[in-house]
Homo-oligomer: A and B are copies of this chain.
Amino acid sequence: MTEIRTDLSRCPLFDRLAPALLEQLAGACRAIRRRKAETIIREGEPCEGFFVVAEGLVRVYKIAADGRERTLHVVRPPHSFAEAAMFAGGGYPAFASALEDARLVLVPREPFCRLLREQPEAAVRMFESLSMWMHRLLDQLETETFLNARAKLASYLLRELRRRPAGAGPARIELAQPKKEIASQLGMAPETFSRAQADLESAGLIVVAGRSIQVPDPAALDAILLGDFQGRAVS
């Protein structure tokens, strides 16, 4: 139980919660483990509650009628997912599975809703979390409709760069997942990812070495997002 309490306390939703309330909520939660590739929730399943990721990576995704999959987001500790499902009825709106062996905390619906009603501060945190999800989805929809494969990759790399500690040496990214997984996040086929990467590399914008990618000049990479790109027209 004390482990659950610690896991919750790290999550932005709860990190300012009074210890007593945290303890109480933790008592109502359940620790859950999933091995790599195991499913956590299925689209349409009734919503028991939402999840805090304590360890490991979780992939949130949709499945098309013909079986194709599309990753919507990868959730890392100490964040949460499926919060929105609790208020909209109709079950979970997407699938989720473990990208690595994962430890999760299931926060059941009722105890959590009680907390929200009683703790305005907790409610505000929840609003912030939902808003962040919305912004993320908006960005994704924007990326989707306005950018081509190269620009999507560039925008992904720049986002990853921004996630790193400030002034952390040279601009280098270590991909934490297989490239085909990243391709799915970006809404493209693995082959297209590979080609986009090759294009950016031959334009001198990135240097690829396995799963390590260097960006000598982030500003130049950023320019890809605007006007188009003549990379393929070398002839």
Contact = CB atoms under 8 A, between A and B. Distances in A.
Contacts of A126: 127
A124 B109 CA distance: 13
Given A137-B141, A145-B144, A131 B68 contact: no
Contacts of A37: none
Interface in A144-192: 144-146, 187
B133 A134 contact: yes
Most chain B beta carbons < 10 A, residue from A68, A87, A146, A226:
A87
A117 B120 contact: yes
Contacts of A132: 88
A75 interface: no
A221 interface: no
A135 to B, nearest CB: 5
Nearest to A134: B84
A140 B134 CA distance: 12
Contact of A226 (B65, B127, B226): B65
A14 B117 CA distance: 17
A123 interface: yes
B116 A124 contact: yes
A130 interface: yes
A198 interface: no
A142 B62 contact: yes
B138 A72 contact: yes
A17 interface: no
A138 B137 contact: yes
A56 interface: no
A7 to B, nearest CB: 23
26 contacts: A62-B142, A62-B145, A64-B142, A65-B146, A65-B225, A70-B146, A72-B141, A84-B131, A86-B127, A87-B124, A87-B127, A87-B128, A87-B130, A88-B128, A88-B134, A88-B135, A116-B127, A117-B123, A117-B124, A130-B131, A133-B134, A134-B137, A137-B137, A137-B138, A141-B141, A141-B144
Given A134-B134, A145-B187, 6 more contacts: A62-B141, A86-B127, A117-B120, A127-B127, A133-B134, A141-B144
